[in-house]
A and B are shown apart, each in its own frame.
Chain A
Amino acid sequence: MNISFSKHTLANGLDVLLHEDHGCPIVAVNLWYHVGSKNEQPGRTGFAHLFEHLMFEGSQHYDRGYFEPLQGAGATLNGSTNADRTNYWEIVPSGALGLALWMESDRMGYLLPALTEAKFSNQRDVVLNERRQNYENRPYGLAPMALLAALFPPDHPYHWTTIGDIADLQAAQLDDVQAFFRRYYRPANASIAIAGDINREDALGLVRHYFENLDPGEPAGPVRASASLSGDARIRFEDRVELPRLYLAWLTPAMFADGDADLDLATDLLANGKMSRLYRRLVFDERIATDVSASQNSREIAGYTQITATAAPGYALAELERAILEEIARLAQGGPTAEEIERGRVQAESQFMLRLQTVGGFGGKSDQLNAYNTFLGDPAYFDRDLARYQDVTAASLQQAVARYLDPARRVTLSVVPQGRAALAAPGSEPAAPS
């Protein structure tokens, strides 16, 4: 299986990816800008995401909310920002493709004339409320801030979260928005995928009609930064939580780099499902934890593997840390079993097939084509991406674990109930994420 497509690059640099699937009378429009919080500077964090909000507030030739005409045409739509990219998508009935493209082109070309101080200040309030809801007023909600700050040095763009710092958001100015738009929201820094009930030629004609005349701009260009850990950075903070939680994190290979798929499967066999090694030991047998999870978070210029476990009442994080490190050492020394490798392969196949079912939205076929195109310049990467997982061997997985999940170079974060610092992993220094 693969995602069949054609790729065209307009004279202004906009990449156009077209995929036909007539299973359902809908079309997905998916537009990626190669900009994320990685393109921000210290002191100006949270900006890429705040900017995403402004893209829904109207543009020069339709200076009202972005949602109304599209919902009136039967669309569903959304957008998201992460460290590496910002995406926007609509799923429309087949007949409304032109409308979606016109709306996208107008905000790509003509956002600024419609942007006002009032819109800016309203959406900054909304984003501050998003931050309160998803981070500040949520148990363990500030852990990502503490973890990323300890994993990556202050001048590395993964040092901060995409939601940004409160003070930076409050200090953001309308001028910053304009400069940001002019630099990053340009055809040459964007890729549009259209998937679904289309005729490719007609769709390409519409894209040309709406986008061809926009000024090209420049691709954002690569962001270079490096990170390394020389020891075990042990930090803790107190939070309004009932149970202490331990986070272990390591710097690991970037997305699609050697070792990335190995660590993805390794974290699965460690903590995905009741039969996984860590769940079985910590939650099932020893019952020292209430939950455990693990993930390889691969990003464009670096990755990090994270293991998270919450202590059962009466247990300190030191006990969880010991058990987790023993299991990692066992995997690094003995490797996975043949059965674990086989399970990893079939799970990857199943996951990839699930992704082929939808044309749009987050993770659908249009989003996948754009991800491969934006990060690799190669939208045809689907089958080779699956092959990365099928090619993982017991030896390669074991080597990746031994090399990257090194107990001597990691971050150990403890989040403990107020006034219960003693429950933290031993030797932790207080941190104050906000």
Chain B
Amino acid sequence: MPGPARSFTFPRIEKSALANGLRVWTVPHPGVPLVAFTLLIQHGAATDPPGMEGLAAVTADMLDEGSGDRSAIEMHEALARLGAQFDTDIGSDATVASLTVLTRFAARALGLLSDIVARPALREQDFLRVRQLRLHRLTQLRDMPGALADRAFLTLLYGAHPYGHLPIGTEASLTAMTPDDVRAFHAEAIRPAVATLIAAGDCDHATVVRLAADAFGDWTGSGGPGDKDVQAATVPPAMPRLHIVPRPKAPQSELRIGQVSAARDTPDYHALVVANTILGGQFVSRINLNLREDKGLTYGARTAFEFRRLSGPFVLQAAVQTSGTARAIEESIAEIAGIRGARPVTGAELELGIAALTRGYARNFETADQFGRAALQLALYDLPDDYFAQFVTRVERVTSDEVSRVMTRHLDPARLTTLVVGDVEVIGQDLTRLGFGEPVVLPPDAY
């Protein structure tokens, strides 16, 4: 039997704010001479104005395209001279710029990060190139079954809701966009009142605050304070339950099964995390053991509640061999229905799921980047500072009844939507026997 786990303590997050509203947080984690800066902007693709899908992502992509007199190339030369790992990442609720450097380059890194985020040049010639590359990317996505499925599925679930499109947008919306749209979006959405700078790793708070004040002190924005919440539009009502994007001769079908479900602030969060672990969140989950280890239909199947500020999707995803498509859908839906009560989680399953989430929890907090990303979750979802300290206790308290109850509350098999990207000639007949009516065939370029 394994011995008791040594207790783990999340470091105290030291917090300050600059006069312009920028929150500055430090998570000290000495050891390796590296510091990870994470700049969170609480506006993401959900902030895209209707008809301008992709604007937030284009804006994020334009941030490192030069600043002041510095060209895009010169900006990247400067980053490379620091050996910096630079990245921008965009989701529905947030835009994140991250920069990890050797400690000795911390001051120069923050200077560059502020030029990138607060003072990007946003030149027309760079915009045209960046947009063109994104249009090419959209063209290429048409051949990627997984990307095609993700894109079509979000639109099916959310329709015109702010979560109904991928950050990249559409050909029509990108084509309609102008450099002025990007400039206006940058001024309104990317500003200190909705931003948090997190430094994690080999650093101390006083130094971070001083360097941040030097780099970001004169950053202003034109919008009001704090209006970071996207208005919730109505999620579309029940729809046809089965959709196919044809991919002739595909050896596998790319599957998505899901529905709009819980938001990050649901009081059921911990119970849903446990429930999902058992259903499809780990290797030994019900769905993976069924589809992969029992039937050999797939390399892997998994489920997730994608928690967001507004109600996020619950999604099952798997690539299954073409001949097993209908069977995989049937089994998946039966597993989802089962865990709501017909086949409640057993004591052993519950114990295993909780142990998997809690006993090795400390391994999530090893690198500077992990500490930075953890603090980012607190900032983005307004979680308390003791969230990580409390996680294990909260998860350990989840019961089998609670799992059934929250799965019943947040999942409804009658509302599950299924999308298949696959060979309709081969599987079409088989799919009609699922009892979901005639599958709705979507053209590959419909989105």
Asked if A68 lies at the interface with its beta carbon under 8 angstroms from chain B, I say yes
Residue of B73, B100, B362 touching A274 (CB-CB under 8 A) = B73
A68 with B352: CB separation less than 8 A: yes
List B contacts of A273 (CB < 8 A): 76, 79-80
**Closest chain B CB from A292 CB (angstroms):** 12
Count of A-B contacts judged by CB separation below 8 Å: 207
| Nearest B residue to A138, CB-CB | B144
* B292 with A126: CB separation less than 8 A: yes
* Chain A residues, Cβ within 8 Å of B32: 1, 353, 356-357
In contact, B359 and A93 (Cβ under 8 angstroms): yes
Name 24 interchain pairs, CB-CB below 8 A, sorted by A.
A1-B32, A23-B31, A23-B366, A24-B362, A24-B365, A74-B356, A98-B2, A121-B296, A122-B293, A129-B320, A129-B321, A134-B299, A137-B254, A139-B143, A273-B79, A284-B129, A290-B140, A339-B77, A346-B102, A348-B83, A350-B85, A354-B34, A354-B100, A359-B366
Q: Which of B5, B295, B368 contacts A357 (CB 8 A)?
A: B368
B107 interface residue (CB < 8 Å to A): no
Separation of A243 and B320 alpha carbons in the complex (Å): 26
- Chain A CB within 8 A of B17 CB: no
- The CA of A350 and the CA of B295, in the complex, are separated in Å by 45
Closest CB in chain B relative to A359 CB, distance in Å: 7
B130 to chain A: closest CB distance in Å? Answer: 11
B363 within 8 A of A: yes
Query: In angstroms, how far is the closest chain B Cβ from the Cβ of A400?
Result: 20
Which residues of B are found within 8 Å of A360, using beta-carbon distances? Answer: 363
Q: Which of B101, B143, B292 has the most CB of A within 10 A?
A: B143
Q: Is A270 an interface residue (CB 8 A)?
A: no
Complex: A342 Cα to B1 Cα, angstroms: 52
Question: Residues 284-326 of chain A: 1 if any B CB is under 8 Å from the residue's CB, otherwise 0?
Answer: 1001001000000000000000000010110000000000000
Task: Let me know if B76 and A95 touch, CB within 8 A.
Answer: no
Question: What is the bound-complex CA distance between A316 and B216, given in angstroms?
Answer: 46
Chain B residues near A (Cβ < 8 Å): 1-8, 31-34, 64, 72-74, 76-77, 79-85, 100-102, 129, 132-133, 136-137, 139-140, 142-145, 250-252, 254, 282-284, 289, 292-299, 319-321, 351-352, 355-356, 358-363, 365-369
- Chain A residues with Cβ below 8 Å from B283 are 67, 71
Q: Please tell me if A99 contacts chain B, counting CB pairs below 8 Å.
A: yes
**With A71-B283, A347-B83 known to touch, is A94 a contact of B251 (CB < 8 Å)?**
no
- Shortest beta-carbon distance from A425 to chain B in Å: 20
Query: What separation, in Å, do the CA atoms of A126 and B132 have in the docked complex?
Result: 39
Chain B positions within 8 Å of A133 at CB level: 252, 298-299, 319
Is A150 interfacial (CB-CB < 8 Å)?
no
Interface flag for A343 (CB, 8 Å): yes
Q: Which residues of B contact A339 (CB under 8 A)?
A: 77, 81
In the bound assembly, the distance between CA atoms of A226 and B284 in angstroms comes to 43
A343 touches B80 (CB 8 A): yes
Chain B minimum-CB-distance residue to A239: B143
Inter-chain contact A95/B144, CB cutoff 8 Å: no
Given known A95-B2, A129-B319, contact A343–B81 (CB-CB < 8 A): yes
Q: How close is A83's CB to chain B, nearest CB, in angstroms?
A: 20
Report the bound CA distance from A354 to B100 in whole Å: 9
Task: Judge whether A63 is part of the interface by a CB distance below 8 angstroms.
Answer: no
Task: Give the shortest distance, in Å, between A140 (CB) and chain B (any CB).
Answer: 9
Query: Is the CB–CB distance between A95 and B5 below 8 Å?
Result: yes
Say which residue of A23, A92, A126, A240 sits within 8 Å of B143 (CB atoms): A240
Whole-angstrom distance between the alpha carbons of A98 and B356 in the complex? 17
Task: Return the contact of A25 from the options B129, B293, B362 (Cβ within 8 A).
Answer: B362
Within 8 A of B (CB), among A347-382: 347-351, 353-354, 356-360
A74 touches B252 (CB 8 A): no
**Which residues of B lie under 8 Å from residue A84 when comparing CB positions?**
none
Q: Which of A92, A132, A283 gathers the greatest number of chain B CB atoms within 10 Å?
A: A132
* Interfacial chain B residues near A122, Cβ < 8 Å: 293-294, 296
Closest Cβ neighbor of A128 among chain B residues: B321
How many angstroms from the CA of A76 to the CA of B277 in the assembled complex? 13
Q: Which residues of A contact B358 (CB under 8 A)?
A: 74
Pair A283/B2 contact, Cβ less than 8 Å: no
Most chain B CB atoms below 10 A, which of A65, A95, A243, A351: A95
B344 to chain A, nearest CB (A): 19
Which residues from chain A sit less than 8 Å from chain B, CB to CB? 1, 23-26, 65, 67-68, 71-76, 91-96, 98-99, 121-130, 132-134, 136-139, 197, 240-243, 273-275, 280, 283-284, 287, 290, 310, 312-313, 339, 342-343, 346-351, 353-354, 356-360
Q: What distance in Å separates the Cβ of A347 from its nearest Cβ neighbour in chain B?
A: 4
Give min CB distance, B297 to chain A, whole Å.
Answer: 7
Taking the closest CB of chain B, its distance from the CB of A16, in whole angstroms, is 21
- Cβ B356 vs Cβ A349 within 8 A: no
Separation in Å of the B3 CB from the closest CB of chain A?
3
- Could you say which of A72, A91, A197, A274 contacts B352, with CB atoms under 8 Å apart? A72
**B132 contacts A287, CB within 8 Å?**
yes
A136 to B56, CA, bound (A): 34
Are B132 and A129 interface neighbours, CB within 8 A?
A: no
- Cβ-defined contact, B133 with A93, below 8 A: no
Contact assessment for B360 and A126 in the assembled complex, using a CB-CB cutoff below 8 Å: no
Is there an interface contact between B296 and A73, defined as CB atoms closer than 8 Å? Answer: no
Give the chain A neighbours of B284 by CB distance below 8 A.
65, 67-68, 71
**Contacts A74-B358, A313-B136 known; 18 new A-B pairs at CB < 8 A:** A25-B362, A65-B284, A65-B289, A72-B351, A73-B359, A91-B360, A93-B2, A93-B360, A96-B359, A125-B295, A125-B296, A129-B296, A129-B299, A139-B144, A242-B140, A273-B80, A284-B129, A343-B81
Task: For the complex formed, measure the closest distance between the CB of A205 and the CB atoms of chain B, giving whole angstroms.
Answer: 15
Which residues of A lie under 8 Å from residue B34 when comparing CB positions?
Answer: 350, 353-354, 357
Q: Is the CB of A94 within 8 A of B6?
A: yes
A243 touches B355 (CB 8 A): no
Q: Which of B144, B250, B355 is the one whose CB lies under 8 Å from A74?
A: B355
Contact of A350 among B102, B252, B296 (CB under 8 A): B102
Given the known inter-chain contacts A25-B362, A133-B252, A139-B143, please indicate yes or no for A71 contacting B282, CB distance below 8 A: yes
Q: Which residue of B lies closest to A57 (CB)?
A: B293
B83 touches A132 (CB 8 A): no
Nearest chain A CB to B175 CB, angstrom units:
14
Closest 9 CB pairs of A and B: A74-B359, A95-B3, A125-B296, A74-B360, A350-B83, A25-B6, A96-B2, A346-B83, A130-B299
Q: Is the CB of A129 within 8 A of B298?
A: yes
Q: What's the least CB distance linking B374 to chain A, in Å?
A: 13
Per the bound structure, the CA–CA distance linking A1 and B7 in Å amounts to 28
Please measure, in the bound complex, the distance between the C-alpha atom of A35 and the C-alpha atom of B371, giving whole angstroms.
Answer: 36
Give A127 to B296 CA distance when docked, in angstroms: 9
Q: Closest CB-CB distance, A133 to chain B, in whole Å?
A: 4
Partner pick for B3 among A96, A347, A354, CB 8 A cutoff: A96
Does A357 contact B4, Cβ atoms closer than 8 Å? no
